[in-house]
A and B are shown apart, each in its own frame.
Chain A
């Protein structure tokens, strides 16, 4: 081991890892699916799915649809002072 584990020093390391893994498994397999069924959360998820949005996109290239200048901007906004 590179360095002594930092928390709960009296519990054996293997048991600590098993305990942490059990908590993660419970959260991801039980708690989050339950939270996902809450009406407000479910509504948000459905809206995002309906709009084809990927909210976890880190940069624009990960979005479902590439953001390009919308046509209405060309029509209604003067983009450059010397332009149309």
Chain B
């Protein structure tokens, strides 16, 4: 994410952003084409028959380690929940998942005009380290308390860089930014605009009014009041806290060219607070006798990570013997997930047009200057999002095609790309650069104050919309 958008452009090859767009779009198109070629002959338009979309044959080529409790070898099999005697090995799809990462790194290397033999050994090693990070994240306690894989990928990288250092032969493969940009282009397929309307006006008000207000106020507070020297750090913290955690941090971090250290710090803060809020908020809602639906919307609007929102909603629902909080919480969070594309685009435009602008440089038009600095891969991210959103709304069949491609392939691939991208970041991260800011405690203060504002505004808006304005006797 460092501010070197054109620094590694090779004379014979494509720019990093162009290579990321080309590969990302090709992968999404491949998933859709394979899904279409294997479309079901019966009940093709039935959501009931295909709740997670049409089966996609690419699903057999990629997976990740499964949750395990005592022995890591448990991560290599999927046990059927209804019939525990049915066991499906996933070692080969996991290995193939690593192969996809190596293949994408190789394709990116060739497109950018670099030497493939120099990259391959490092790419294989990084893919294996990605598997290790996924394995660490799959431990049951870690998994069920929402300590997501980016944290462990960063840790693995940091341990290597702070003990033996990154070996020379690994250096050519350390293309974390390229992997994350490609992952974001693929991720665009999951950001479906139609999901924004899933809860109608109450959902829109809860997400669209509060989220941008909290994002902007937190950013301005960090820059102007706390005087944190790095604007990109303020933006990444504001985005991961107000939108939806790690995924928002990755997208906005790439849009505002945040440093690796800043992204790592923001993700660490977000995950720690997510665990605390996931455990503390359901009993508080119950204790304060907040309406379950308002409480669910509040959880969805405030807890950073999507999985943690659903977990907290289920905990609240279990205590109250009511499924509605979890349903509202998950749907509000899904709306926020769908905002990532628009927010990343807005941040990229703002950064290119205003923050990064060199006042002492040659006088050019704002548009030309903004375009020159604009991170072009964001166009790939928005492009896949628009195309998949359009397909999704065309017909029920196309909606199931898109869902199948996402669930069967692109979502898993994006996970692997982010995971290995974070390994690279850990291997290249130098926390000493952030030491003065860290020692001042200002990032933590910024996160806490921003989250406090988020909690107050989200509760007020959830009470206004779900609790009063749009409510007509919500009784089962």
Contact = CB atoms under 8 A, between A and B. Distances in A.
Interface of A: 1-7, 13-14, 16-17, 19-21, 24, 28-29, 32-33, 35-36, 41, 44-45, 47-48, 51-63, 65-70, 72-73, 76-81, 83
B308 interface: yes
Contact of A76 (B52, B315, B472): B472
B200 A79 contact: yes
Contacts of B51: 65-66
B148 A56 contact: yes
Interface in B444-476: 466, 470-476
26 contacts: A2-B167, A2-B168, A5-B165, A7-B162, A28-B139, A36-B141, A47-B318, A48-B314, A51-B318, A53-B311, A55-B311, A57-B306, A57-B310, A58-B148, A59-B306, A59-B337, A60-B337, A63-B330, A67-B330, A67-B333, A68-B198, A69-B200, A76-B473, A77-B466, A78-B470, A79-B200
Interface string B391-421: 0000000000001001100010001000000
Interface stretch (B18-26, B27-35, B209-217, B243-251): B243-251
Contacts of A45: 140-141, 144
A77 B294 CA distance: 12
Nearest to A67: B330
B163 interface: yes
B61 interface: no
A49 to B, nearest CB: 8
Nearest to A35: B141
Contact of B143 (A2, A55, A67, A77): A55
B305 A58 contact: yes
B124 interface: no
Contacts of A68: 198, 331
Nearest to A31: B141
Q: Which 6 A-B pairs have the closest CB atoms?
A: A79-B200, A57-B307, A67-B330, A1-B165, A55-B311, A16-B163
Nearest to A45: B144
Given A2-B168, A36-B69, A55-B308, 20 more contacts: A1-B167, A5-B161, A17-B159, A36-B141, A44-B145, A48-B144, A51-B318, A55-B143, A56-B147, A57-B307, A59-B411, A61-B407, A62-B306, A67-B310, A67-B327, A67-B333, A69-B199, A76-B471, A78-B471, A79-B470
A24 B135 CA distance: 12
Interface centre among A5, A20, A77 (most CB of B within 10 A): A77
A53 B470 CA distance: 29
A81 B451 CA distance: 31
Interface of B: 51-52, 69-70, 72, 81, 136-137, 139-149, 159-168, 171, 187, 190, 195, 198-202, 244-247, 278, 305-308, 310-311, 314-315, 318, 324, 326-328, 330-331, 333-334, 337, 403, 406-407, 411, 415, 430, 432, 466, 470-476
A21 B162 CA distance: 12
Contacts of B334: 60, 67
Nearest to B142: A32
A20 B164 CA distance: 11
A55 B195 CA distance: 20
Contact of A77 (B139, B246, B307, B471): B471
Nearest to B171: A2
Interface centre among A14, A53, A59 (most CB of B within 10 A): A59
Contacts of A29: 72
Given A47-B315, A59-B337, A76-B475, A69 B198 contact: yes
A68 B162 CA distance: 45
A55 B312 CA distance: 9
B201 A81 contact: yes
A56 to B, nearest CB: 5
A56 B411 contact: no
Contacts of B69: 33, 36
A27 B469 CA distance: 50
A78 B165 contact: no
A47 B314 contact: yes
B168 A1 contact: yes
Contacts of A20: 159, 163
Contacts of B326: 51
Interface centre among A21, A33, A83 (most CB of B within 10 A): A33
Given A36-B141, A77-B202, A79-B199, A56 B146 contact: yes
Contact of A55 (B52, B187, B201, B278): B278
B163 A13 contact: yes
Contacts of A69: 198-200, 331
